[in-house]
Amino acid sequence: MRRTWWIYLIAVLGLVAVAAPFLWMLLGSFKTQGELLRVPPTWWPEAPTTQNYDDLFSKANFPRYFLNSTIVALAVTAGNLLFCSMVGYALAKLNFRGRNALFVVVLGTLMIPGVVTFVPLFVLVTNAGLANTYPGLILPFLVSPFGVFLMRQFFQGLPDDLMDAARVDGSGELGIFARIMLPLTRPALATLGILTFLGSWNNFLWPLVVAQTEEKYTLPVALALYSTGQNAQNFGLLMAGAVVVVVPVLVIFLAFQRHVTKGIAITGIK
Amino acid sequence: MSAAVRGGSGRQTAAAWILTLPFVVLFLAFTAGPVLGSLGMSFTDLRQRDLRTPFAVNGVGLDNYLKALSDETFRKAALNTAYFVLVGVPLTLGLALAAALLLDRGVKRFQSLFKVGYYLPVITSIVAIAVIWRFVLSPDAGLLNTVLSWIGVDGPNWLASETWAMPSLIMMAVWRNFGSAMIIFLAGLQGIPQTVEEAGQLDGAGSWQRFRYLILPLLRPTVLFTSVTTGIGYLQFFEEPFVMTQGGPLNSTISVSMYTYQQFGFGNYGLATSMSYLLFVVIAVVTFVQFRLLREK
């Protein structure tokens, strides 16, 4: 018992180092511009104000960005759950020509960085008339090699006997997938859904390129452009903006953290 | 294989077609297609004004690649990216392993509280993190320099200093990312049977010796995995300089991805894709080398 107190001290100090910037952001978002510039800085807001949030929702169009982020993230999540589980099942449980080749190609693209594809993707999306539209923001992310990999791994762990029994009972192949196997993958679907939602919510490079007018900005794009543009000196507004970007993610993460860490542990990719 | 083969493969093939078709179409259009398109574009003089006629451009052979390699800013970007990876990856993995050992071997109560806490920055938008850290790093009213002043250290003007801008971004990246590798290390540590350590203890091995000669070798696959994934992520160093420094001061934090994005912004699509392919080749080579080095020992 004597040995453990300093281990906890280190663990707590680590937690403080991780949490301090978040707390500072939260507290800072309730400070006035004058207080934010004060040297030495204050920790607790002296005269807490919601002015920054009022500005965020009136002068800056954050409700719009929030809605855009939500629409895009929900659509991307739905697409991944549907399409990745379909192809993951086929790769794990069905015997068809080209299965191994498809899997190798999917695995191969896991490693390709986003920056490699975004120029041709931009040309494609622009020529298809999808620049600055929701489909332009959503379509490139409806499936992901990561999602396929995760679902395939999970389907492989399910016993074949279930499928055989259903075949004997006269079920069709698609019925076996939809009614028997898919419901068993609920934990994997939860993991994939949450990771996809968080990934889409935080996605930056693609929305930055495709969303060309303010009505289509997602939250990270808006925040980045605010923090480098003419509002760069409005520190209170930026801190409040960061809070609006971060808090939904924290809530979702804390509610479902087991699924998130499980997915990371299974596949190692965030 | 057993059930799949016995089940009558005509019906299975039909089902497989239906199940894979949406994915294959989307994958070809938005992943595989652009990967090949990027390769093709990198050998052309495609510019923004040619956007509507991407197939009517001229081939320029290796010109873009040669131009990139002889461009001083590109070299600077490559050096900065290497700096970021070579310093950032070991720091991230070291801190991640230390945190994993601390939680797995030391902390018995509230373990998941610490795990979740350390993991929080990983799932936070990098843009929001960059905004927060601009205040943490701000020279006078910043959190970091305030803490440093308590111990009598006069902190630098982090992001405005050519010397300190890169270390600032590395510090931020390590803070943000170590939780991700930590989770994987935790899973790896939990896969090591208790009996291994008990045997070492009976043989009189101290805790450092047990770590060095028993645990670390058994963790090799996990170390390989985290170093590859962290390395791939760090090679794509983009958002941090984009939001924090715009590559400055005096290009001291410009990265390959950041410079690629700038060239794209200038409308030099052919040049930008050649740069991104150079980055891809480096990522592939580094990944391959890491596999060889960590496999063969």
What is the pLDDT at residue B5? 45
pLDDT(A92) > 90: yes
Diameter of chain A measured on Cα atoms: 77
What is the pLDDT at residue A129? 93
pLDDT(A270) > 50: no
Q: A36-57: per-residue pLDDT in tens? A: 888 777 888 988 999 999 988 8
A64 CA: distance to closest CA in chain B (Å): 18
pLDDT(B7) > 60: no
Average pLDDT over residues A30-34: 89
Q: Which residue of A has its CA nearest to B41?
A: A120
Read off the tokens for B60. Answer: 């320029």
Q: How confident is the model at residue A27 (pLDDT cuts 50, 70, 90)?
A: very high
pLDDT(B2) > 50: no
Q: B67-124: per-residue pLDDT in tens? A: 999 999 999 999 999 999 999 999 999 999 999 999 988 887 888 889 989 999 998 9
pLDDT(B271) > 60: yes
In sequence order, what are the beta bridge partners of B198? none
**Of the ranges A264-268, B113-117, B206-210, the best mean pLDDT one:** B113-117
What is the pLDDT at residue B297? 52
Q: A224-252: per-residue pLDDT in tens? A: 988 887 777 788 899 999 999 999 998 98
Distance CA A26, CA A121 (A): 37
Q: How confident is the model at residue A94 (pLDDT cuts 50, 70, 90)?
A: very high
Q: A111-158: per-residue pLDDT in tens? A: 787 888 889 999 999 999 999 999 999 999 999 998 999 999 899 989
Average pLDDT over residues B35-51: 88
DSSP H helical ranges for chain B = 2-6, 9-27, 33-41, 63-70, 72-101, 111-119, 126-136, 143-150, 165-190, 194-202, 207-210, 216-218, 220-235, 239-244, 256-265, 269-296
- pTM recorded for the entire structure: 0.89
pLDDT(B6) > 50: no
Q: What is the CA radius of gyration of chain B?
A: 24
Burial (Cβ within 10 Å: 0-12, 13-18, ≥19) of residue A57: middle
Q: A219 and B26: CB-CB below 8 Å?
A: no
pLDDT(A110) > 60: yes
Q: How confident is the model at residue B278 (pLDDT cuts 50, 70, 90)?
A: very high
What is the pLDDT at residue B4? 44
A176 CA: distance to closest CA in chain B (Å): 10
pLDDT(A176) > 50: yes
B29 contacts on A by Cβ (under 8 Å): 124, 139
B235 contacts on A by Cβ (under 8 Å): 113
pLDDT(B3) > 80: no
Q: Which residue of A has its CA nearest to B234?
A: A113
Read off the tokens for A64. Answer: 């719009």
Q: Which residue has the higher pLDDT, B149 or B4?
A: B149
Q: Which residue of A has its CA nearest to B96?
A: A14
Average pLDDT of chain B to the nearest whole number: 88
A243 CA: distance to closest CA in chain B (Å): 8
Could you give the percent of chain A with pLDDT greater than 70?
Answer: 96
pLDDT(A72) > 80: yes
What is the pLDDT at residue A7? 86
Lowest mean pLDDT among A149-153, A180-184, B211-215, B252-256: B211-215
A117 contacts on B by Cβ (under 8 Å): 31, 34-35, 38
